[in-house]
Amino acid sequence: MLTDGNRKSDVSNPKGYFEYDPVMALHKDNSWLGEAQNKSVKVVAPLLKFLDPKYRYKVIFMNRDINEVIKSQQKMIGKDPDVLPLKLLEAYTKHLNQVEIWKEREPNVELIYVNYNDVLDNTNEAINKVISFLGVNMDKEAMANCVDKSLYRNKV
């Protein structure tokens, strides 16, 4: 993984964030993408469209119930997790639709959707799907050990 370790684990993500700071400025500067070749990088949906088309990408898009995502975000920023901000819901829904349009327009992008609950409930099937998509040998046991059902706390 391409990470920088700058964002430390906390109550919201006790196992860490696995982020790379330059990703958040991808819309301004994508010159670092060469460093990411043959590595995994966490990119939020709205920034996918700023990936440089000169590279090939295999995108694993984690789908999760949008209400749970918003609830988790609200809780993380200290707001009432039971209040659903409609503007945020609309923005997230729009981003999801834009990802579909983007992937169809980009010939160098392969994308699969992996359902968050499938990873929790059918871990081995989800792992096999990812390995098949990537086309590389991976340590299935190590992957399965990363799944921690106790971290699934913001449910609807």
User: Domain-by-domain residue ranges, the chain?
Assistant: 44-151
Residue 121: the pLDDT is 96
Residue 69: the pLDDT is 83
What's the whole-model pTM score?
0.87
Residue 111: the pLDDT is 97
Which residue in this structure is represented by tokens 């659903």? 84
Beta bridge partners of 112: 60
* Alpha-carbon span 62 to 42, nearest angstrom: 11
Among 139, 137, 143, 138, smallest CA distance to 123 is for 143
- Which residues in the chain show pLDDT less than 50? none
Among 145, 151, 147, smallest CA distance to 12 is for 151
